[in-house]
Chain A
């Protein structure tokens, strides 16, 4: 009985296998003469990638290029009657892709929330406007996305993944010949790679850090105008923007075209800002506009002084903390205080964007207080450390007394022996 059950079971399994494999054969039998021929003659597109997003969506060659992939005869399958388009003209590429990508009715089958405004956006971009004007050298869809190796932006292999975007843009923007007519430089990638953002993205792999497109846009790529710089930077540097908007500088930037983030921080080469941006010496950025007899000069000096004071006190407290840790004393409270002090320093440096020495002085005061408390606590620990000597003194006294008594005893025994000897 048992045996027959196994028998039926294996029979069912076998049947399943047969069904499954015939299904596979059937799928394979769906002829794609394009692929057959192109593979056979080794004329596949250079950038073809197996994981191409269209391949995966079962949109094969003919989906874009037209023609009939079932037709055995090459001339038939690549005939105009069968809707064959072939290789599109550069100027036609946006429309070529837009045929599907601009139609939500079609696209939502694949991704319900997908954007369909790329082509419209593209024609507002510098690239798009130039293409319309007949410039054949500008980037269109395939320049960034490739033609036959298109991968979703979330795929790390994709040319438009955050990690790869700087290189992708640099293909053209780093080419001096291509850029000659535009008046742009070609140093953007180098500048960016050395900047805080570039280092975070390229070296640390922090995808939270902006790549080219996060400031310039994707399909609507354009150099941000002065009026938008504050908003672009502010989308991440929230507090900095809020402070800046309410500051005297921020208000004047609305009326005249200056004092945007870029003026002090640069654009592609944004380095880690230092406190010395503020002072009244050579490294000062303030003195580019302000001079010794105006309010800005005094403000720069005050802010610099306050921040460096808070910072050096914090550094000093860190040294105390280190000392305490090495000595193995209780560092919990000190460490916690210093966490607050560090937070205060971050806030203080953000607050510089108010350009208000009064607020800065107040905030710096809080920070100094925190570091000072930490230093005082460290002092207490050190004195406790020294206190232990008192206990040692007392016990030593006892031990010395005992040792002395022992010594006398030994002497005494020795003397007795001499007498008895």
Chain B
């Protein structure tokens, strides 16, 4: 059979059709592959191994959009709290000597459970729970059970 105009058009239609389908279904399949962060909202985060955090020290770690202060106290327990002061949003720091969390902006003081102890802060700091799995420190957002 001669390869004429008719066949050429048919080939073109076939190739174009396949190409068209591909350019629709390629994005579709890519879309369906779940992204690395599989949820819109991060609820837990690995921050490093235990020995990265010396005893009686603190580190500000990033938890999604918010900074969290991770403290390893001298009793060797970890605690994690939202690092923004509840008074006017300054970043708080851990005072190693007093074993308290201090906000330098207006001398607000929190204890290691996040409770506002003195100064202007009106509310406690939000608590995150810390768990250690295979020497890895993991911070998790505490679900509001109420």
Q: Are B16 and A237 in contact, with the CB atoms below 8 A?
A: no
CB of B63 to closest CB in A, whole Å? 10
Determine the distance from Cα of A401 to Cα of B16 in the docked complex, in whole angstroms: 6
Question: In this complex, which of A343, A394, A412 has the most chain B Cβ atoms within 10 angstroms of its Cβ?
Answer: A343
Q: Which residues of B contact A343 (CB under 8 A)?
A: 90-91
Q: Are A332 and B65 in contact, with the CB atoms below 8 A?
A: yes
Known: A208-B120, A208-B121, A401-B16. A346 touches B105 (CB 8 A): yes
Contact of B108 among A208, A209, A394, A399 (CB under 8 A): A208
A-B residue pairs in contact (CB < 8 Å), sample of 9? A206-B120, A207-B122, A208-B121, A332-B65, A399-B20, A401-B12, A401-B16, A405-B16, A408-B12
B38 at interface, CB cutoff 8 A:
no
Known: A208-B122, A395-B23, A406-B13. A335 touches B65 (CB 8 A): yes
CB of B146 to closest CB in A, whole Å? 24
CB of A373 to closest CB in B, whole Å? 14
Dominant SS among interface residues on chain B = mixed
Q: List residues 11-32 of chain B with CB under 8 A from any CB of chain A.
A: 12-13, 15-17, 19-20, 22-23
Determine the distance from Cα of A336 to Cα of B68 in the docked complex, in whole angstroms: 12
Q: Which residues of B contact A346 (CB under 8 A)?
A: 90, 105
Q: Interface residues, chain B, CB within 8 Å of chain A?
A: 5-6, 9-10, 12-13, 15-17, 19-20, 22-23, 62, 64-65, 67, 87, 90-91, 104-108, 119-122
Q: Which residues of A contact B105 (CB under 8 A)?
A: 239, 346, 350
Determine the distance from Cα of A201 to Cα of B30 in the docked complex, in whole angstroms: 55
A147 at interface, CB cutoff 8 A:
no
Q: Are A237 and B107 in contact, with the CB atoms below 8 A?
A: yes
Contact of A339 among B9, B17, B22, B67 (CB under 8 A): B67
Determine the distance from Cα of A207 to Cα of B10 in the docked complex, in whole angstroms: 81
Determine the distance from Cα of A369 to Cα of B107 in the docked complex, in whole angstroms: 28
Determine the distance from Cα of A401 to Cα of B17 in the docked complex, in whole angstroms: 9
Q: List residues 342-396 of chain A with CB under 8 A from any CB of chain B.
A: 343, 346, 350, 394-395
Q: Which residues of B contact A401 (CB under 8 A)?
A: 12, 15-16, 19
Q: Which residues of B contact A153 (CB under 8 A)?
A: none
Q: Are A412 and B6 in contact, with the CB atoms below 8 A?
A: yes
CB of B23 to closest CB in A, whole Å? 4
A43 at interface, CB cutoff 8 A:
no
A315 at interface, CB cutoff 8 A:
no
Determine the distance from Cα of A402 to Cα of B21 in the docked complex, in whole angstroms: 10
CB of A244 to closest CB in B, whole Å? 14
CB of A207 to closest CB in B, whole Å? 8
CB of B99 to closest CB in A, whole Å? 18
Determine the distance from Cα of A211 to Cα of B49 in the docked complex, in whole angstroms: 47
Given contacts A395-B23, A398-B22, 15 further A-B contacts (CB under 8 A): A206-B120, A239-B104, A332-B65, A343-B90, A343-B91, A350-B104, A399-B16, A399-B20, A402-B13, A402-B17, A402-B20, A404-B16, A405-B13, A408-B12, A409-B10
Question: In this complex, which of A206, A235, A339 has the most chain B Cβ atoms within 10 angstroms of its Cβ?
Answer: A339
Q: Are A336 and B23 in contact, with the CB atoms below 8 A?
A: no
A264 at interface, CB cutoff 8 A:
no
Q: Are A402 and B19 in contact, with the CB atoms below 8 A?
A: yes
Residue of A nearest to B11 (CB): A405
